[in-house]
Amino acid sequence: MSAASPLLTAEERARALTDLPGWQVTDDGRALTRELTFNDFTAAFGFMTRVALMAEKMDHHPEWTNVYNRVSISLSSHDAGGLTGRDLELAGAINRLAGG
Amino acid sequence: MSAASPLLTAEERARALTDLPGWQVTDDGRALTRELTFNDFTAAFGFMTRVALMAEKMDHHPEWTNVYNRVSISLSSHDAGGLTGRDLELAGAINRLAGG
């Protein structure tokens, strides 16, 4: 896809993480992950709904798993083959929604 | 938990699956799984929202993963240590919501 954002360098990834509490970069450097725990299912899914609306607006979507009150999120720019600025933007938006 | 439903027998599991198109029993017999694909993210998440409301009403919740237009669902009764009638009920409700 011609519109793919450029991949982040290792240095850019490391620097960005200092602004994204709760997130980790996977060992292969291709994804950002975060685990969140809520009081119950409705709180977890309510959060997911807010993220879903934001993700759709940003046209960048998470890979995520929900088990009752837990939500595991992985972000990557598949068209670019790894992490780009779009993942950092979505991670930041998710943190703001999480109140973190 | 004293209110745990009884585990299904292998025979009950096999019989129930004939009424639940799209679902499979995992090799260990402890969970029902189904993969669904939608046109796009909003269709997938819209479906998840309907399932979430139903699951909360039934007080029985799926383990599920969403990647863009795909939703992978796993049902099990953890308090009972495997499949019970509650999983069959939720699987049936999900199929009705999926229009299947």
Q: Which residues of A touch B42 (CB under 8 A)?
A: 56
Could you report the per-residue pLDDT of B59-90, keeping only the tens digit for each? 999 999 999 999 999 999 999 999 999 999 99
Q: How many residues does chain A have?
A: 100
Q: Which domains does chain B have, with CATH numbers?
A: 28-74 (3.30.1360.20)
Chain B interface with A: residues with Cβ < 8 Å: 41-42, 45, 48-49, 52, 55-56, 61-68
The verdict on a CB contact (< 8 Å) between B52 and A45 is: yes
What pLDDT shows up at residue B1?
45
Confidence class for position A15, pLDDT limits 50, 70, 90? confident
> How far is residue B64 CA from its own chain's centroid?
9
Which run of H or of E encompasses A69?
Answer: none
Task: Tell the burial category of A84 from Cβ atoms under 10 Å away from its Cβ (0-12, 13-18, 19+).
Answer: buried
Mean pLDDT of B8-16: 89
Collapsing DSSP to helix, strand or coil, A74 comes out as strand
Task: Tell the burial category of A3 from Cβ atoms under 10 Å away from its Cβ (0-12, 13-18, 19+).
Answer: exposed
ipTM: 0.94
Nearest-5° Cα angle at A16, A14 to A20: 115
Q: Which residues of B touch A67 (CB under 8 A)?
A: 61, 63
Q: What is the CA radius of gyration of chain A?
A: 13
pLDDT at A59 over 90: yes
Residues with Cβ within 8 Å of A58's Cβ and at least 6 positions away in sequence, in order, are: A86, A89, A90, A93
Task: Tell the burial category of B34 from Cβ atoms under 10 Å away from its Cβ (0-12, 13-18, 19+).
Answer: buried
**How high does pLDDT run on average in chain A?**
94
In this complex, how many residue pairs, one in chain A and one in chain B, have their CB atoms less than 8 Å apart? 37
